[in-house]
Amino acid sequence: MTGSRVRAAKGQGGLLRDQLLGIADQLLESRGVEALTIRAVATSAGVSPPAVYLHFASKRELVHAACLRVWSSLFSEMEAVSREIPDPVTALHEACVAYIAFGLRHPSPYRLVMAGEATEASRQNEDACFRYFRDKIAACVDAGVPVESTTETARVLCAGVHGAVSLLIHQERDVWPPDSDGYVRRAASSAVHGALLTASHAFRPSVADMMRSG
């Protein structure tokens, strides 16, 4: 990754910033947050550390920006797979599939945003994700799905998809399910069914319920 950089033309400081964030993304994904330092990014970009500090006041700020850059693609991915689906429950399911798959593809940024030190990025993205799913649930309500509280139902749904990601990214990859795509879709289905089927009233499952659903 080390190399010389073509000096940015006057007024193109944003271009260097994007280059630095691209390098930070690679370090974060491949080697973790410990490897993401100002000096490492500067070396890879072929600039001096002070040049990086012109854009990021600290490693913490750099980590925040790198996480936000990765997470900005999540909402585009969720909308891309759900936007044209007329059934809002199916659209919600596909958005959940995209969310879980995103978390498994980007374990380091996901851990930092959802449970790590990137607190500013965490607040922004956690709030945005929650509002996104709550809006999707509101669309289900508009279609006639009985939901007492979109807020509480969104909380249950978020617990399901976040748990599906967290269960795996805190373990070594050799213990992940061999069929990761199948895991993602089943976990998304479980989250959506569990949240919506209990959205109007909670009930205690039984063997009889399982037999009827089969």
Can you read off the two tokens belonging to residue 88?
């809002």
Residue ranges of alpha helices (H) inside the chain are: 13-31, 38-45, 49-53, 59-82, 88-105, 107-115, 119-142, 150-169, 180-197, 207-213
What's the burial of 131, exposed, middle or buried (CB within 10 Å: 0-12/13-18/19+)?
exposed
Question: What distance in Å separates the CA atoms of residue 138 and residue 186, rounded to the nearest whole number?
Answer: 23
Determine the pLDDT at residue 9.
42
* pLDDT tens column, 69-120: 888 889 899 999 999 999 999 999 999 999 999 999 998 888 888 876 656 6
Q: How much is the pTM?
A: 0.83
Query: Please, what is the Cα angle at 114 between 132 and 104, to 5 degrees?
Result: 85
The count of other CB atoms within 10 Å of the CB of residue 185 is 17
Q: What is the DSSP letter of 47?
A: S
Say what percent of the chain tops pLDDT 90: 59
Whether the CB-CB separation of 85 and 59 falls below 8 Å is answered with no
35, HSE (Cβ side, Cα atoms, 13 Å): 13
Mean pLDDT computed over every residue of the chain:
87
Name the residue type at position 6: V
* CA distances to 74, 143, 144, 150 from 103, in Å: 9, 29, 31, 24
* pLDDT tens column, 172-192: 989 999 999 999 999 999 999
Whether the CB-CB separation of 138 and 150 falls below 8 Å is answered with yes
Q: Who contacts 71 (Cβ-Cβ below 8 Å, separation ≥6)?
A: 109, 113, 121, 125
